[in-house]
Amino acid sequence: REIKLRNYEPEDEELKKRKVPQAKPASVEDKVKDQLEAAKPEPIIDEVDLANLAPRKPDWDLKRDVAKKLEKLEKRTQRAIAELIRERLKGQEEELASAVGSAKQEGSDSD
């Protein structure tokens, strides 16, 4: 292997030949300019159309805020409707049972 001296300053003439010359820093100006140009934001929209920014309906935020409450009310309404239907069916079953019972009584009297 060959000895390379970078930081050591030799006194011997034989070793001075093996010293590596000082490295010169590369110019970073071009790289920095390219990076700065790449970092510049490009304008996406030149003009802002206020008609597109405005909500389509003026009460959209009210609907959004009331949506949770309406959801709860909808569930309660569905339960109430189901309960009313059950009560009607129960009432019809009782009427049907009484009608069948009265028909049996009439039928047994005719025999």
Contact (Cβ atoms closer than 8 angstroms) between residue 6 and residue 22: no
H helical segments located in the chain:
13-16, 29-39, 50-53, 60-110
Give pLDDT tens digits for 5-55.
888 888 888 888 888 888 887 788 888 888 888 877 776 666 666 666 665
pTM of the model: 0.37
| Per-residue model confidence (pLDDT) at position 108 | 57
> CA-CA distance, 82 to 90, in Å (whole number)?
12
Residue 37: both structure tokens together: 């140009």
